[in-house]
Structures are given as C-alpha cells and as structure tokens.
Amino acid sequence: MTIQELGALGELGGSVLILITLIYISIQTKHARKSQLSLEQQAIHSGHREFFLAVMTSPELPVVIDKANSGAALSGSEKVRLASMCQARLNLILMQFQLRKVGIGEEIDLDEEAAEVRDLFSNFGGFMGSHWPTIRHAYAKDFSQFIQAIVALAK
C-alpha cells in the first residue's frame, strides 16, 4: 500500500469520525435543550406556587383581592400590594413568552397563556387594565404588543 492510499484511508477515517462527532453533538444539543426547557418550566411552576402561597398565607392580600373584585376603594398600600401581585403574575407570563420566543417553549400552551392574561386583566375590578398604560413601558415592545393583542381580543 502506497502513502497516497494510506492518506486516502486516513481522510476517509477522519471524515467518518467528523460525521460521528457531529451526530453526537446534535444529540447532546437536543438533550441540553430539553433539559433547559424542563428547568425553565420548573421555575415557572415554582413562581406560580410561590404566588399562590403568598396569597394564601398573607392575611391582608385576600382582603385586598376581595375589595378590588367588589369595586370597593383601595387605600394606597392596598393598591401597592395589588399592583405588586399583578406584576408578579405578569412576570410569570413574561417568562413563558420569552421561552416560546427563543424556541425552547414550544410545549407552552398559547391558549392557556392567553387565558391567564385575560384573567389577570379582567379580575380585581379592572385594576391591571387601568395600570397597564403606565407599566407597559417597563416591558419589551414585543411582549407589550402581545399583551395588548390578547386584551383587545377579550373586549
């Protein structure tokens, strides 16, 4: 066997190894992507759990929610509590939106997310809807447009 034949065999072997490496890297990337999605979904679920725990363990927050839902006047501190609660929920929705936007949140149900937005804006005596024009500037333009499109469809 000549040197040229050995060189050709070496090139062929190298090409096969490169192909095997590329396949391995693509499999690892797929697994890493699924793992990242799982971590992000756990963070979202953890956020929801913390939100509901805060509502359930705070003696004042359920009273504020009841007052807002009944249309009663809220004090300044009650408005701050309600605004903080609403923004916490909105930030959880933002996490889901960002996951879907970067392509690792395809499994997040857009209808469920839209229902959560509609629920947030229709409850509490329309509190979030009245405060949205001032806080929407704190969010990225595409997320603000997403929220406004859902809220507009709900009307």
Predicted confidence at residue 122, as pLDDT, reads 87
Domain boundaries, the chain: 46-154
Token representation of residue 40: 């992000």
If phi > 0 it is left, if psi is from -120 to 50 it is alpha, else beta; for residue 2 that is beta
**pLDDT at residue number 108:** 65
Q: How confident is residue 21, by pLDDT bands cut at 50, 70 and 90?
A: very high
Per-residue pLDDT tens over the stretch 37-72: 777 777 777 777 777 777 667 788 888 888 888 888
- Half-sphere exposure of residue 108: CA atoms within 13 angstroms, side-chain side: 27
Confidence grade of residue 78 (pLDDT, cut at 50, 70, 90): confident
Burial of 142 by CB count in 10 Å (0-12 exposed, 13-18 middle, 19+ buried)? exposed
Q: What is the pLDDT of residue 20?
A: 92
Amino acid of residue 110: L
Segment 124-141 mean pLDDT: 86
CA distance 15 to 80: 64
Residue identified by tokens 């799982």 is 38
d(CA 51, CA 91): 11
pLDDT at 150: 85
Residues 6+ apart with CB under 8 A from 89: 51, 116, 120
Confidence category of residue 106, pLDDT binned at 50, 70, 90: low
Averaged confidence pLDDT in the chain: 82
Q: How large is the average pLDDT for residues 65-85?
A: 87
The model's confidence at residue 107, banded by pLDDT at 50, 70 and 90, is: low
Residue 104's pLDDT is 64
Other CB atoms within 10 A of residue 65 CB = 20
- Asked whether the beta carbons of 62 and 55 are under 8 A apart, the reply is yes
pLDDT band at 155 (very low <50, low <70, confident <90, very high): low
